[in-house]
Amino acid sequence: MNITIENIILIGSVLLLISILAGKTTYRFGIPTLLLFLTIGMLAGSDGIGGIYFDNPKIAQFVGVVSLNFILFSGGLDTNWQSVKPVLKEGIALSTLGVLLTAVGLGYFVYLITDFTLYESLLLGAIVSSTDAAAVFSILRGKNLALKKNLRPTLELESGSNDPMAYVLTIAFLTLVQYPEKNIVSVLPMFLLQMVLGGAAGFLFGKLSKIIINKIRLDFEGLYPVLTIALMFITFSATDFIGGNGFLAIYICSVYLGNQNIIHKKTIMRMFDGLAWLMQIVLFLTLGLLVFPTEIVPFIGIGIMISLFLIFVARPLAVLISLLPFRMKMRRRFYISWVGLRGAVPIVFATYPLLAGIDKANVIFNIVFFVSITSVLIQGSTLSIVAKWLHVGLPERVKPLSATDELLSEHPKAIMKEIKITKTCPSNGVKIVDLGFPKNAIIAMIERNGNYITPNGLTEIAANDKLVVLTDKPEILDKVYESLSLKKKEEETGD
């Protein structure tokens, strides 16, 4: 069955509906939903019962890049800087040195057991060297898995920030495969330029995006998520245009925005959460359609060997070496190594050799696809079990509810405080977005002249307003008073 203009919407919507409904059922049995989406795509393909013929790596790569933009941006928006800051060094070590060691270790193993050249082996290792943000975000957050200490922010920081390193390594080793007369030293300038420009551009575009979102006056609230999408794509494409790493830029940009006071932040975050799920489903369905299962069968043996070496040797060694300078219990290091999920990202990166037309491109693609399926199936379905074995999970009754989850939910379990704004308060006439309000507190409602209004970032504070403030900790209230330039005693006396 060929995809035509007449049936593409029907086919896409039916596959999307099947994926959502089937995902709801299989989740109860511990099967990762992303694996299900991939399987549905394979079944709908030319080798499956759907008979849809799709063999266009260029379109698949385009879908992959666009999807990763949304997935990384959504993950960055939901990253709490206060949670990430204590584990920033560990996360950076895992997302740089850890990725490099995984690529080199696995690449050398592939070189020993196959007829690949050294550069071809390292290329395969680079493609599967990073943990998959879509898989980690969806599984950890979907299962609401509570972990001790700072394990969860470490894992989410690593998965959100290590794709740029894997991308640069993939492009570098692909260049060496195409031009074997070059050496590794010759690609180092490109590597450094990508990372430095990507990081700097991400931070600058984050600051610029905040100014644009807060200063522009749009007539409809629904346009603010659209504006943010435009800024996201500009960040990625402009960074790529100047030679930087676009994936790194959008992640840093989104982390910055997610921890700033921006107008309609709640609406923007909810919209991106839904879009991220849509992009994950579309991405896995597309990659499922791209693969021909019959072509994978001859590589099952070598695929199993590579998968097992990656899961039980290359990834654990890379994690242990990367975390040597840090104090951390061994069982936590082992758990970090187990959450080395491979998913859609390696498959997207595997389309680059296909488009480059190198000799082993099809072999690499099929092996990478098999490794990704194996990783999601084995590791993704056992995260909760392994957490219990290693004693790094929290009991159900003491699972912490994050401030973000509390404040953004429809029925927040939070501390409520009514604060009256005095006539002499310096906050009179100041927009909420300019107050510098604490991250763990929100103004849910304002009582003004006997009426209740729902504020947004552009709402100006007025004298005699009663602010209904929600927060998750009593001590945050002191910061609330400070941001309002209001003394607690003054507010209580109404002077």
Answer whether residue 7 is part of any domain.
no
Looking at per-residue pLDDT, the higher value among 377 and 21 belongs to 377
Cross-strand bridge partners of residue 453: 446
Same domain, 377 and 423: no
pLDDT score of 1 more than 80: no
Domain check: are 185 and 166 in the same one? yes
Expressed in angstroms, the distance from the first to the final Cα of the chain is: 76
On the 0-12 / 13-18 / 19+ scale of CB atoms within 10 A, 74 is: buried
Confidence band, pLDDT 50/70/90 cuts, at residue 303: very high
Instruction: Indicate whether 375 and 486 sit together in one domain.
Output: no
The pLDDT score that the predictor gives to residue 51 is: 75
Closest CA to 122 of 180, 65, 195: 180
Report the distance separating Cα 296 and Cα 39, nearest Å: 14
105 in any annotated domain: yes
When pLDDT is cut at 50, 70 and 90, the band that residue 398 belongs to is very low
* Residue bearing tokens 């507010």: 491
Query: Is residue 20 in some structural domain?
Result: no
- 21 within a domain of the structure (yes/no): no
Residue 216 phi/psi, 5° resolution? -70, 145
**pLDDT tens, residue by residue, 7-27:** 767 777 887 787 777 666 555
359 vs 5, higher pLDDT: 359
Domain boundary among 374, 398, 422: 398
Judgement on whether residues 137 and 177 belong to the same structural domain of the protein: yes
Same domain, 319 and 467: no
* Mean pLDDT taken over the chain: 83
pTM higher than 0.85 for the full model?
no
Instruction: Indicate which CATH number applies to the domain containing 411.
Output: 3.30.70.1450
Domain assignment of residue 462, given as a range:
403-493
Q: What are the structure tokens assigned to 284, written together?
A: 């896995």
Does some domain include residue 263?
yes
Same-domain pairing of 341 and 432: no
Spatial distance between the Cα atoms of 322 and 102, rounded to a whole number of angstroms: 10
For residues 355 and 384, membership in a common domain is answered with yes
State yes or no: pLDDT of 367 exceeds 80.
yes
Nearest to 68 by CA among 213, 219, 275, 215: 275
pLDDT of 413 above 70:
no
380, 488: one domain: no
pLDDT for residue 93:
94
Domain identity same for 87 and 163: yes
59: DSSP letter: H
The full DSSP string for 256-269 is HHHTS--TTHHHHH
**How many distinct structural domains can be found in the chain?**
2
Q: Quick one: 116 and 167 in the same domain?
A: yes
Strand ranges of the sheet holding 441-448, from the earlier edge strand across to the other edge = 415-420, 466-471, 441-448, 451-453
* CA 202 to chain centroid: 15
Confidence class for position 312, pLDDT limits 50, 70, 90: very high
| 319 and 450 fall within a common domain | no
**Residues 286, 60: Cα–Cα separation, whole Å:** 6
Judgement on whether residues 340 and 433 belong to the same structural domain of the protein: no
Residue 25 lies in a domain: no
Question: What is the per-residue pLDDT for 318?
Answer: 96
Could you tell me the two tokens for 486?
């209001």
Residue 23 in domain = no
Share of the chain above pLDDT 90, in %: 36
| Residue at a domain's end among 345, 379, 398 | 398
Most confident by average pLDDT, 50-54, 76-80, 97-101, 400-404: 97-101
Asked if 143 contacts 28 with a C-beta cutoff of 8 angstroms, the reply is: no
- To which H or E segment does residue 444 belong? strand 441-448
The CATH number covering residue 354 comes to: 1.20.1530.20
Whether residue 30 lies inside any domain: the answer is no
CA atoms of 477 and 249, how far apart (whole Å): 34
**Contact present, 267 and 454 (Cβ < 8 Å):** no
DSSP secondary structure string, 22-51?
HHHHHGGGT--HHHHHHHHHHHHBTTSSS-
pLDDT digits (tens, 9 = 90+) for 236-273: 999 999 999 999 999 999 999 998 888 888 889 989 98
What pLDDT sits at residue 341? Answer: 84
Listed residues 352, 378, 398: the one ending a domain: 398
C-alpha 231: how far from chain center: 17
